[in-house]
Amino acid sequence: MMLGIDLGGTKIAYAVVLPGTSTIVARHVTETRSHEGAPAVLQRMIADCRDVCAAAGITPAGLSGIGIGVPGVFDDTTGRTLFLPNLHGTWPNVPVAQTLSDSLGCAVWLINDARAFVLAEALHGAGRGADNIVGFTLGTGIGGGVVIGRDLYLGIDGTAGEFGHQTLALNGPRCGCGNIGCLEALASGPAIVARATQMLKEGNTPHLAQALANGEVFTPALVAQAANAGDGALVRLLDDVYAAIGAGVANVVTMFSPQVVVLGGSVSNLGAPLLTAVRQVVHERCRATPVDRIAIVPAVLGADAGMLGAAQWAFRRLQQWEVQ
Ligand SMILES: [Zn+2]
């Protein structure tokens, strides 16, 4: 059996998975509490790995391998994280793979969390049956991944697929990555909330103001709700967001001509209006690609995708390892 771990900024999710399948034998979720520091988080992860293995009726040494989806950049050769922006301290040079491997007695591989999502959706979810798939994670950040011939295309250190950091506006807003005009700076969850906040201050969003006064949480979903209730400024804001995501998807479609584009993440929960707008923009902008044969679809695995993709990644690396 494989163990897939999704290391997030707020939660860590664990799943013991039958190799090459989406069958979860046992699962466990805990809070990350990254303010305690990387060594403390890693020690808790080791204990949680033992617990979830026990629930599956095995010991960690009986696992074939562990895959960990990490929210950022890592060194694939050493298994050390380099920059995890959503974790306290950003985890530079933290020996994640080695620490878990030494304590648990089995092989550990890292993968970027968005690449894990796309691998899982490609093999077991919305892209099932297709050979070439691209995916977007639309949330606090915007990530993505490329599957070619049912295998991840990774680029250097797994960095291929950073679709959120494609330049869409030559003189646009500054992105967290340092560039200006990235898709992420235009259409991530925080970007949507920031722009809605501006409109709120200008007094153009009475329904949003009322909802916030009622104690509702300020999310992209709440912005969409206020737009539907009649806040015209927010309708135009969301139109801009959908246009930006549509253009980002269109660029990737132009480059890869995939059979399936999978959209996941919290912003994708805006649902049918987003999907409809993205499909329309892709049809308008991709004139040299047979877009009628490209399915643009929502993700189907939900929160399991990260764990399943990490487990699947470990399974693939194990197979490559055994061949060598
Ligand atoms: Zn960027």
State in Å: Cα 110 to ligand 1 middle. Answer: 22
Same domain, 98 and 179: no
Pick from 4, 11, 8, 46: which is nearest to 27 by CA? 4
State in Å: Cα 314 to ligand 1 middle. Answer: 28
Q: Does 183 reside within a domain? A: yes
Same domain, 66 and 22: yes
State in Å: Cα 185 to ligand 1 middle. Answer: 7
For the chain, how many structural domains are there in total? 2
Mean pLDDT over 206-214 rounds to: 97
Mean pLDDT over 141-167 rounds to: 94
State in Å: Cα 107 to ligand 1 middle. Answer: 33
- What's the mean per-residue pLDDT of the chain? 95
Pick from 296, 302, 240, 294: which is nearest to 265 by CA? 302
Q: Residue 324 above 80 pLDDT?
A: no
State in Å: Cα 38 to ligand 1 middle. Answer: 25
Please, which pLDDT band fits residue 62 given cuts at 50, 70 and 90? Answer: very high
Same domain, 153 and 166: yes
Q: Which amino acid is residue 248, in one-letter code?
A: G
Q: Does 137 reside within a domain? A: yes
Q: Does 245 reside within a domain? A: yes
Tokens coding 319:
């197979």
The boundaries of the domain holding residue 252 are 129-298
Same domain, 164 and 64: no
Pick from 117, 153, 48: which is nearest to 311 by CA? 117
Same domain, 95 and 26: yes
Same domain, 319 and 205: no
Tokens coding 307:
């764990």
Q: Does 198 reside within a domain? A: yes
pLDDT at 270: 86
pLDDT at 223: 96
Same domain, 76 and 155: no
State in Å: Cα 184 to ligand 1 middle. Answer: 6
State in Å: Cα 305 to ligand 1 middle. Answer: 24
Same domain, 6 and 55: yes
Q: Does 18 reside within a domain? A: yes
Q: Does 124 reside within a domain? A: no
State in Å: Cα 176 to ligand 1 middle. Answer: 6
Q: Does 107 reside within a domain? A: yes
State in Å: Cα 271 to ligand 1 middle. Answer: 24
pLDDT at 158: 87
Under DSSP, is residue 147 helix (H, G, I), strand (E, B) or coil?
A: strand
State in Å: Cα 45 to ligand 1 middle. Answer: 30
Cβ proximity of 120 and 309 under 8 Å: yes
Residue 16 phi, psi (nearest 5): -90, 125
Residue ranges near ligand 1 (ion) with Cβ within 5 Å: 165, 175, 177, 179, 182
State in Å: Cα 60 to ligand 1 middle. Answer: 38
Q: Does 123 reside within a domain? A: no
Mean pLDDT over 109-126 rounds to: 97
State in Å: Cα 54 to ligand 1 middle. Answer: 41
Same domain, 102 and 223: no
User: How far is it, in rounded angstroms, from Cα 225 to Cα 209?
Assistant: 12
Q: What is the CATH number of the domain that holds 250?
A: 3.30.420.40
State in Å: Cα 55 to ligand 1 middle. Answer: 41
User: How far is it, in rounded angstroms, from Cα 46 to Cα 193?
Assistant: 36
Same domain, 139 and 277: yes
State in Å: Cα 168 to ligand 1 middle. Answer: 10
State in Å: Cα 73 to ligand 1 middle. Answer: 14
Same domain, 102 and 61: yes
pLDDT at 127: 97
Q: Residue 231 above 80 pLDDT?
A: yes
State in Å: Cα 30 to ligand 1 middle. Answer: 30
Mean pLDDT over 198-215 rounds to: 96
Same domain, 179 and 100: no
State in Å: Cα 181 to ligand 1 middle. Answer: 7
DSSP states along 28-47: EEEE--GGG-HHHHHHHHHH
- Say what the pTM is: 0.94
Measure the CA dihedral 238/239/240/245, to 10°: 90
Question: Could you tell me whether strands 151-153 and 142-148 are parallel, antiparallel, or unpaired per DSSP bridges?
Answer: antiparallel
State in Å: Cα 220 to ligand 1 middle. Answer: 20
State in Å: Cα 162 to ligand 1 middle. Answer: 9
Mean pLDDT over 21-49 rounds to: 97
State in Å: Cα 143 to ligand 1 middle. Answer: 10
